[in-house]
Amino acid sequence: MSAILSVTNLTKSFGSHSVLHNVSFEIQSGSIVGLVGPNGAGKSTIMKATLGLINYQSGKIKLNGQLVSPTSHQLLEHVGALIEYPGIYPFLSGWDHLTMFANSKQAVTEIVSELKMTGYIHQKAKHYSLGMKQKLGIALALVNHPQLVVLDEPMNGLDPQSIKDLRDLILSMAKHGTTFLISSHILSELAKLVDSLIIISQGQIIKQTTMTQLLNKDTHYIDLQTNDDQRARFLIRDAGYELVNGPALRVIQTGPDQLSKLIQLMAINNIEVLDIQHENGNLEHSLLTLLTAK
């Protein structure tokens, strides 16, 4: 799989304030990549530089092997983007916005249907809610089926059903070859979407990894439900196992034979095990662990 986007030693300062320090990464064609990190880490700056919206002190950005900059951005006609807030004209309808940028009327009809915007697409945008405006911005980014889509906080203002609709559309487009770079603070949703992650802190890439690799390194838990959880809790702690604070019997897993030992411990103390669940750590925990160690 070839790299559709390549960023090499990107450095950016605003006056005396250094924002990016030798940032380098590659994104493979057809992948969905999450760009994550604390506020002020440099995520939006990377996205704007990638789109040729801002200049930078040094480094190279290549799209399909060709350089992109504020003065050389012809290739960006194959890129869709939503950065921060969508630029919307209040006295134009959503349909008007899309037809101004779309390659065909059919493309407009398809994206309106896929994002379930039919009921209001012909209304003037000044009457749109936050979520409706956000959907329009996303539709503008996706309408021409670009090779690369850059989305900054695309789920802002969307209700749960709209988030699911967007997720399904992104996954479908990725299967057909579209590449996505997505920044979002809604980590639970990002975890359902992305193949890999670029993790940034204080203007530096601290890790680029797949979602599977990141979560496999995280903590694993065994959740037990018994007919006497209070007594079971004391027995588990007395046996030297570590429990997570909270009402549930959640044991931190430290070895492959731990479950059988816990079941045996319950059995010899005449406690009935009613249910057993295995849980993996989540993206939020994994990221916080990485960022704290930085």
- Residue 286, pLDDT above cutoff 80: no
Q: Which range (90-94, 145-149, 158-162, 284-288) has the least confidence?
A: 284-288
Higher pLDDT among residues 268 and 38, named by residue: 268
Q: Kindly tell me if the per-residue pLDDT of 293 is higher than 60.
A: no
Q: What's the fold here for domain 3-215?
A: Rossmann fold (3.40.50)
Residue 272: burial class (beta carbons within 10 Å; 0-12, 13-18, 19+): exposed
Mean pLDDT on 113-140: 95
Q: Does position 157 have pLDDT exceeding 60, yes or no?
A: yes
Given a cut of 70, whether residue 290 has pLDDT beyond it is no
Give pLDDT, residue 52.
87
Read out DSSP for 234-263? HHHHHTTPPBPSSSSEEEEP-STTHHHHHH
- The H-assigned helical ranges of 60-159 are 94-101, 105-114, 130-142
Q: How confident is the model at residue 99 (pLDDT cuts 50, 70, 90)?
A: very high
Flag the least confident range among 78-87, 134-143, 261-270: 78-87
pLDDT tens string 271-285: 999 999 877 666 666
Q: In what order do the strands lie in the sheet with 58-63?
A: 17-28, 3-14, 58-63, 66-67
Where is 187: in which H helix or E strand? helix 187-193
DSSP helix/strand/coil, 165 = helix
Residue 147 to residue 3: CA distance in whole angstroms: 12
Confidence band of 163 (pLDDT split at 50, 70, 90)? very high
Boundaries of every domain in the chain: 3-215, 219-293
Q: What is the pLDDT of residues 9-18, one digit of tens each?
A: 999 998 888 8
Q: What is the mean pLDDT of residues 163-189?
A: 92
Average confidence (pLDDT) over 182-197: 87
Q: What number is the average pLDDT over the span 180-199?
A: 88
> Does 219-293 match 3-215 at the fold level?
no
Provide CATH code, domain 219-293. Answer: 3.30.70.120
Q: How far apart are CA 166 and CA 157, in angstroms?
A: 12
- Mean pLDDT value of segment 80-94: 91
| Mean pLDDT rounded to a whole number for the chain | 88
* The pLDDT of residue 220: 76
pLDDT for position 257: 86
Question: Is residue 53 scored above 60 in pLDDT?
Answer: yes
Among 167, 237, 180, which residue's Cα sits nearest to residue 34?
180
